[in-house]
Amino acid sequence: MRPKCPTCGAGFRGGAECGRCGTDLRGLSAILLAAREERESARLALRAGDGEEACRRARRSLELHDDPAGHRLHVLALLSAGRLREAVALLAVVCRPAE
């Protein structure tokens, strides 16, 4: 899901406030940064061969920001951890066409 201003729905483009309505978006920025850091930690865990840690980090990133790239990373992490059944189930959800 693409982040939006909670007040007016304008697409989030970074920054401390909404360019359209002036709402303070520092909280949203902090959440998105934390999600990005969790995804990076998941990638590092994958490279280190620690699939379970990659799963934890990828899942945490999705709790913070639900986006397609995060789901793909979570699938990779599940595969790395040998959790094939969960990876296939998640792929079925991620690859479902938008309604």
Which residue, 9 or 68, is less far from Zn ion as judged by CB?
Answer: 9
Q: What is the 3-state secondary structure (H, E, C) of 67-90?
A: CHHHHHHHHHHHHHCCCHHHHHHH
Which residue, 8 or 30, is less far from Zn ion as judged by CB?
Answer: 8
Which residue, 8 or 48, is less far from Zn ion as judged by CB?
Answer: 8
| Cβ 32 to Zn ion shortest distance, Å | 15
Residues 27, 91: Cα–Cα separation, whole Å: 31
Can you give the binding site for Zn ion, defined by CB under 5 A?
A: 5, 7-8, 10, 18, 20-21, 23
Q: What is the DSSP letter of 26?
A: H
CB 55 within 8 A of CB 83: yes
| Cβ 8 to Zn ion shortest distance, Å | 3
Which residue, 15 or 82, is less far from Zn ion as judged by CB?
Answer: 15
CB 45 within 8 A of CB 57: yes
Show the tokens assigned to 79: 């595969």
| Cβ 30 to Zn ion shortest distance, Å | 17
| Cβ 35 to Zn ion shortest distance, Å | 20
